[in-house]
């Protein structure tokens, strides 16, 4: 059966590799660099490309620390562990804000209480490729002189009110790491609309980034591996085995690949992978449309069965790398995972914990209470939106979830 990816990333094609190694791009793309093509795609004048989305975020934090003299940033209680690591490496202190009930978005009342003159930035996160409405977040941030950095790592190609995700923020960050919508093994995009702020960010980036030809050589080999192995036949080697080893050891953080080091690679991106990216980018708009169409159809099926799906906020068009399900209790979620996590069907968990609950983050993350974020992390799981998941296998997943939900002994008390 093989192994399905946990997310619906855009598979690279042989033509993309030829474009990278042979420099043979479509005629209409020759006049645009990869950065220019990305800027056009994101409806902005310019973007910059660095070695990871986390590095982009850390550079933004460092820039705002120097610009404002403030050393604290507000993060949602439920987000990727790399976000506080990026803050730590930029010399700023993360402050956790709880989420709304059954949501990944900020509890705005708590956000307003936390956002004072010590805060350099507020960092809303897009989860499951869903951009949220930032109107209230921006008002709260601006009232205290803070900037808004939208963590749009998962939502390249998503839209809100007809504009690219990240459009409403002062700074937006997108990821090109393996499994994302457009994947070049690693890489990050930073989009800044204010020209002066953009130049300040570039100055900080110039201090942190260096030419590392050996790293680029390794990444060029790894992107070939991504092309060859990002499919149901190759993924058991590079994803499935690691997942199963982590689960066997009882290390869920390791199983989903969240055991990150407190360091970020900072190297100058080479032209070869940029050419590969330019070629793949031509297919991304249609790929996102197909993803969304498939996800909305399957979300309707899940909703008809009485299951709660993380839906698009008003005005949003997600890029839907996966479908996120919220169950009534941690017991139900854990039983679903016991039946499906190792089935090779792309059923997994996004972030294992809320930020305050990761043991290895204790040196850098404050022990703040974020009960809604904790509950959300404890009751959610994801189903891949990959085109490799057949309707028959999706129906089998739905039957398994329904049988768990119907078991009265697994209702639990929730949080």
Burial 252-276 (b: 16+ CB within 10 A, else e): ebbbbebebeeebebbbbbebbbbb
pLDDT in tens, 370-408: 999 999 999 999 999 999 999 999 999 999 999 999 986
- In this prediction, what percent of the chain has a pLDDT beyond 70? 96
pLDDT in tens, 257-305: 999 999 999 999 999 999 999 999 999 999 999 999 999 999 999 999 9
- In this prediction, what percent of the chain has a pLDDT beyond 90? 91
pLDDT in tens, 250-263: 999 999 999 999 99
Q: What is the pLDDT of residue 30?
A: 56
Show the domains of the chain with their CATH numbers: 284-410 (3.90.1150.10)
Q: What is the pLDDT of residue 80?
A: 96
Q: Report residue 27's pLDDT band, with 50, 70 and 90 as the boundaries.
A: very low
pLDDT in tens, 218-238: 999 999 999 999 999 999 999
pLDDT in tens, 30-63: 568 999 999 999 999 999 999 999 999 999 999 9
- Mean pLDDT for the chain overall: 94
Q: Report residue 412's pLDDT band, with 50, 70 and 90 as the boundaries.
A: low
Is 347 a residue whose pLDDT tops 90?
yes
Q: What is the pLDDT of residue 398?
A: 97
Between CA 95 and CA 76 the distance in angstroms is 8
Between CA 415 and CA 413 the distance in angstroms is 6
Q: What is the pLDDT of residue 89?
A: 97
User: In this structure, are residues 133 and 314 in contact, taking their beta carbons and an 8 Å threshold?
Assistant: yes
User: In this structure, are residues 385 and 318 in contact, taking their beta carbons and an 8 Å threshold?
Assistant: no
């Amino acid at each position: 059966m093989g192994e399905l990816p946990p997310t619906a990333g855009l598979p690279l094609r042989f033509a993309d590799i030829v474009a990278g190694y042979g420099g043979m791009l479509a005629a209409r793309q020759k006049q645009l660099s990869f950065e220019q093509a990305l800027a056009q795609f994101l409806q902005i004048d310019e973007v910059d490309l660095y070695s990871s989305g986390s590095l982009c975020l850390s550079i933004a934090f460092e820039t705002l620390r120097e610009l404002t003299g403030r050393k604290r940033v507000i993060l949602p209680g439920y987000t990727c562990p790399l976000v506080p690591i990026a803050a730590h490496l930029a010399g700023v202190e993360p402050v956790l804000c709880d989420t709304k009930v059954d949501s990944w978005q900020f509890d705005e009342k708590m956000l307003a209480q936390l956002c004072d003159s010590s805060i350099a930035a507020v960092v809303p996160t897009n989860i499951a490729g869903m951009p949220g409405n930032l109107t209230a977040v921006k008002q709260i941030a601006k009232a205290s002189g803070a900037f808004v950095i939208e963590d749009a790592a998962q939502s390249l190609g998503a839209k809100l009110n007809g504009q690219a995700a990240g459009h409403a923020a002062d700074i937006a960050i997108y990821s090109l790491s393996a499994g994302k919508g457009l994947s070049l093994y690693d890489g990050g995009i930073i989009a800044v609309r204010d020209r002066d702020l953009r130049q300040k960010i570039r100055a900080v980036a110039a201090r942190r980034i260096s030419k590392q030809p050996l790293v680029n050589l390794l990444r060029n080999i790894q992107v070939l591996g991504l092309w060859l192995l990002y499919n149901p036949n190759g993924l058991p080697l590079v994803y499935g085995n690691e997942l199963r080893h982590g689960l066997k050891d009882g290390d869920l953080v390791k199983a989903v690949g969240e055991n990150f080091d407190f360091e970020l690679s900072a190297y100058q991106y080479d032209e070869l992978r940029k050419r590969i990216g330019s070629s793949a980018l031509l297919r991304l708009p249609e790929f996102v449309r197909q993803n969304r169409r498939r996800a909305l159809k399957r979300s309707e099926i899940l909703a008809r069965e009485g299951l709660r799906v993380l839906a698009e906020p008003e005005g949003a068009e997600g890029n839907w790398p996966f479908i996120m399900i919220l169950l009534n209790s941690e017991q139900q979620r854990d039983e679903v995972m016991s039946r499906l996590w190792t089935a090779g069907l792309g059923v997994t968990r996004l972030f294992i914990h809320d930020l305050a609950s990761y043991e290895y983050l204790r040196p850098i993350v404050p022990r703040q209470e974020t009960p809604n974020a904790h509950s959300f992390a404890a009751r959610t799981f994801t189903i891949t939106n990959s085109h490799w998941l057949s309707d028959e296998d999706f129906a089998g997943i739905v039957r398994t979830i329904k049988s768990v939900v119907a078991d009265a002994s697994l209702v639990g008390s929730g949080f």
